[in-house]
Structure 1
Amino acid sequence: MHARSDKLSAWHRLTTIVTIKGHTDDSAITRLNRMGLTLSVSTKLRLLDEAGAMMDTAIVSKLQTNPLFKVTGDNLDIYIRTGHKSLEKSNTDLHLFASNAIFSRVAKPGVFNTARVSRPLHTLYPYMFFLSGHYRQTMVNSYCVVLGRILAELKEFSWMKSVLPAHIYHPYQVQMSQKSEVFQLPILMKNVAKHEDCVDILDGYETFISDLFVTAFGSEDTLHKYRVPVGGDQLTRVRLEEAKNLRTLATTPKKRFEDLHPFVIELWHTKQDFLEKCYKELYSTKTLRQPGTLYHYKSKLQRTDVNGKVKGAFKSHHDFIMLVGKRMVTEQFIEYFGMENSSSAPTKNVPIIKKSVCERRVQMHEILEKFMDHYGYLKDSCDLRKSCDETDSVYNYSSNLCHWVVNLLNMDDIAKEEDMVRLVPSLMFSLQFFFSHSRLSKYFEECVDFILKCEYMLSPMDRIRVLEGAFTNLRGGIGCNIESDLVQENSVRNQKDLIRSLGANKTDKAIMRCTKAADIVVDICDKIDSSVALKKTSSRHHTPRAAKDEELIAKSLRELRPFSNISGRTCQGLPNILSSPLKKIDQKDLKHRMNQVIERLFYGQTGNVDNALEGDD
């Protein structure tokens, strides 16, 4: 076949890429090669090397047009089975470190001020990290839209659909709708849990990124001028920043890692921990017989994939709490407006519907702000006070669940829209939820660290780069963004996929080769699928609406009427629960802890991860 047409080489490359993605073993590839359908096994290895080299070339080409990018990193852990066990060789856990480079869409050279301004420590007070002023109003407007979308599902309030925005506007909406440029960096054979390996990881970053800038610009001056932000989960952020501190007294800027700044937390892991804290607060086997609780509906709906361990199955836990939580908020609206069911007319707090769209929009905000004030939404711990109406623990449980769910809905919407305006206010409010679970919560400290850097320590240029770097748009379009660390998780999954295809007795060289080419292989296979009109099942498709599940929950809640506030009613399993998670917070303790964390983070110190992990649970 090759003798008849040398153009078949490109076709052979495509078929070989498909066999690599499909985990075809070498013996099968050899048979296909003898039939003239694929390249040989040895040529396959050269093909993977070429795919890896393409990534470096593409990064240099993009650097020449835009020198601003952010690096995200995450650990890649995989269990390696040895083909023939011996004293010298046994099954091992392999700990690697994977990274992506995400180029800026908003920040451009010369657009934002690069002067670094840092406020003195004595001018930083705890109240500056809580919602106030325009930040509070931003969150109020956001909550109005999130709650309005739920209220508009009721028949009598369907008029709100015409005034609710499909996408909450923010100044960078156009730029955020552009497709992100994401490139995979070489994998590092290092374990982020070890300080010595973290120093090697930063050395590897410095060497590789410096080489890229030298290739693109002929020198490292551009790198020294703009530097590179680094993001990761809590462990990654803490360990890498500690590793940088270890080199504080090094003799050269490169050895001090001055080109890598700042180190920030990523938001999908923050949301994951937020959801886990919600389940720890409200998910209890003791509430099995109590209608209106998460564990009751988990058992009734036979959700066997929901067990309270969020990190093992994030999507199933997220979908379940959205299912129950939205119905709970709907029940809250029904009770607030004195309705018999979702189709009946309101008898309390009845609004007089305005005629014009502008008047209806103002009216919608007025209705929802009164509703939020009635049930304590967006009230800080200092605004909440224990009162006698908390003798109904069923009411307290339901109200508590609504506070968690609406904030989680707001976090989801911020990620989809990549709304940099709402991001910092959202963390200002969320940090109190983390603190309510434990004063040693590690993500409470991460929220404070993110706010401290973005609001009081970074230049306008670095601030924009950190905020926009928190999200990535892989497809393009408004409302199509996801968190950057979730993109990193998907990249790690692709790399693991190819590592497993290597079989037993994997060498470091083979792992480096296949992981470097992983994203290119996946990208080529996606383009092949598109060219042959092959549709694949995707987790990004809308989840089918569980109508029967919603009907069961709605009927159960109508019979229970959790928001009727019956004095003395007890929630089985959680009799002492409060109506808001923030009511547990001691204001003096919160301010004292805030001062401790701010002072420590201001001087670049990090917390003891082991101690935080012990106290967090």
Structure 2
Amino acid sequence: MDRIPSFLPATNLVSDVSKKRCGELSSPTGKTPLQECKRQPACVYDRLAVVGVTTCFQGAGRLVDEIGKHNYDAVIQSLKNGNPFRLIGDNINISVGVKHERSNAKGTMYNWFASAILTQKKAFAELSDVPQCLSKDLPLEAFLPTHVDEGRIINDYIVLVSRVAVKHLPQLEFLSELAQKVLPGPCVEDMRRRNLVVALPVLPFNEQKNADVVQILDHYEQYIEEIYQSAEVPLAKVHIGGDQLTRERFSGAKRLRALLSRNACLTEKQRLQHMQPITFELWHAGMNLLSLIFNVLFNEHSYEKGTMNSARIKIGRRTVKKDVQHNYDHNKDFFLTFTSSYII
């Protein structure tokens, strides 16, 4: 029973991959992350399997192996077809509470790390690694929209508005051709093709600790080596990234390993040399934009007709709050509905 607390965060993390690949799995059955599954003693699985919390130990192991092999095969085949891949990751926080809080029984926050592989249709091999110029030498027009840019933005608005109109108003079906128009931009055809996304095992490491970040990168190096060897392709540098904070921690961990290599004879894998460049991802950009919109336009104490709060009350969206960070999905859906209603 002393191992049960360490198993609780694993049973709280639902594996969407398991439920998609096997629809007969009950909701609580898939509650083990891929990496944590084999860390637990067999007796814990066998006892919890009786009450339906998880599968037996052997069954969980087979499921993990099957899913992992399927995912790796997809990435390997994509690499053989000439499509590079990159690794991204971010922290995942799992809160485990207690029914009756006491001095010796309190809630616990587990800080783990989730990662994924993204295969890319575009390698950007035509771009040079040499900077085109220094940022201080860029003209003002490189940052501010010109008259040409403003005209393109208006044309984009026309296309987006026509899509909403055609979707909700059958009388405007004649705008279908305009609504299906592809917005212009670089690499349009490549970006229209869907990339393969493969979830990696959730690692029980805390990215707030430098030692744990180094272990995360060691796992990345192992993934890279295994995939390239299986694809029988010469080992190359792989692009990795996370949000701005994760990106800085990755770079700091590489610097720590580089300092260690001065006094020790380390291989390229041990020096983490196959992960380059390290960039930050823009997955928080949508939340930042929505937060700005709600800070400017949403007022919980405004009940005038036409305001966002008035519309929220009228259609009964009680889950929409001022705090976008903790209500992102509900706020996003409401904002799209609110905007579409004004267009119509």
So what's the TM-score if we normalise by structure 2? Answer: 0.68
SS of match in other structure, 2:321: coil
Q: CA offsets per residue over residues 387-411 of structure 1, 9 Å max, x none?
A: xxxxxxxxxxxxxxxxxxxxxxxxx
Map of 1:296 onto structure 2: 310
SS of match in other structure, 1:76: strand
1:208 aligns with 2:208: no
Separation in 2 of the partners of 1:200 and 1:275? 35
Percent identical among aligned pairs is: 23
Contact 2:75 2:119 survives alignment (8 Å) = no
SS of match in other structure, 1:309: coil
Which of 106, 110, 116 does residue 100 from structure 1 map onto?
116
When you count helix as a share of all residues, which structure comes out higher? 1
1:112 aligns with 2:125: yes
Q: CA offsets per residue over residues 221-257 of structure 1, 9 Å max, x none?
A: xx1xxx3222433433343344445556555765264
Contact 2:166 2:179 survives alignment (8 Å) = no
CA gap of 1:145–1:242, structure 2 versus 1, over 3 A, is farther
Contact 2:213 2:250 survives alignment (8 Å) = yes
Q: CA offsets per residue over residues 456-481 of structure 1, 9 Å max, x none?
A: xxxxxxxxxxxxxxxxxxxxxxxxxx
Contact 1:81 1:90 survives alignment (8 Å) = yes
Higher-RCO chain (CA-CA 8 Å, sequence separation at least 6): 1
CA gap of 1:29–1:259, structure 2 versus 1, over 3 A, is closer
Separation in 2 of the partners of 1:129 and 1:301? 40
So what's the TM-score if we normalise by structure 1? Answer: 0.41
Q: Which is higher, the Rg of structure 1 or of structure 2?
A: 1
More deviation, 189-198/243-252: 243-252
Separation in 1 of the partners of 2:325 and 2:232? 43
Q: CA offsets per residue over residues 46-103 of structure 1, 9 Å max, x none?
A: 31342254133443343333351122212222134699x9999865321111111111
SS of match in other structure, 1:298: helix
Q: How does 1:9-158 map to 2 (within 5 A)?
A: 20-24=25-29, 26=46, 41-54=56-69, 55-66=71-82, 68-80=84-96, 91-107=107-123, 112-113=125-126, 115-118=128-131, 119-125=133-139, 127-132=141-146, 135-149=149-163, 158=172
Map of 1:383 onto structure 2: none
Separation in 1 of the partners of 2:105 and 2:227? 37
1:185 aligns with 2:200: yes
CA gap of 1:257–1:90, structure 2 versus 1, over 3 A, is farther
Q: CA offsets per residue over residues 262-305 of structure 1, 9 Å max, x none?
A: 412233x21122111211112223323x3222222223333211
Separation in 2 of the partners of 1:216 and 1:79? 39
Separation in 1 of the partners of 2:229 and 2:281? 29
Map of 2:239 onto structure 1: 229
Q: How does 1:200-599 map to 2 (within 5 A)?
A: 200-217=215-232, 219-220=234-235, 223=236, 227-244=237-254, 251=262, 254=269, 255=271, 257=273, 259-267=275-283, 269-288=284-303, 290-329=304-343
Letter in 2 for 1:284: N
RMSD value, Cα: 4.1
Letter in 1 for 2:28: H
CA gap of 1:263–1:30, structure 2 versus 1, over 3 A, is same
SS of match in other structure, 1:116: coil
Q: Provide structure 1 residue ranges, at least 5 long, that are not aligned to the other structure.
A: 1-13, 33-39, 331-617
SS of match in other structure, 2:88: strand
Which of 214, 221, 240 does residue 199 from structure 1 map onto?
214
- Displacement after TM superposition at 1:146 (Å): 1.9
Separation in 2 of the partners of 1:80 and 1:282? 36
- Displacement after TM superposition at 1:27 (Å): 6.3
SS of match in other structure, 1:98: strand
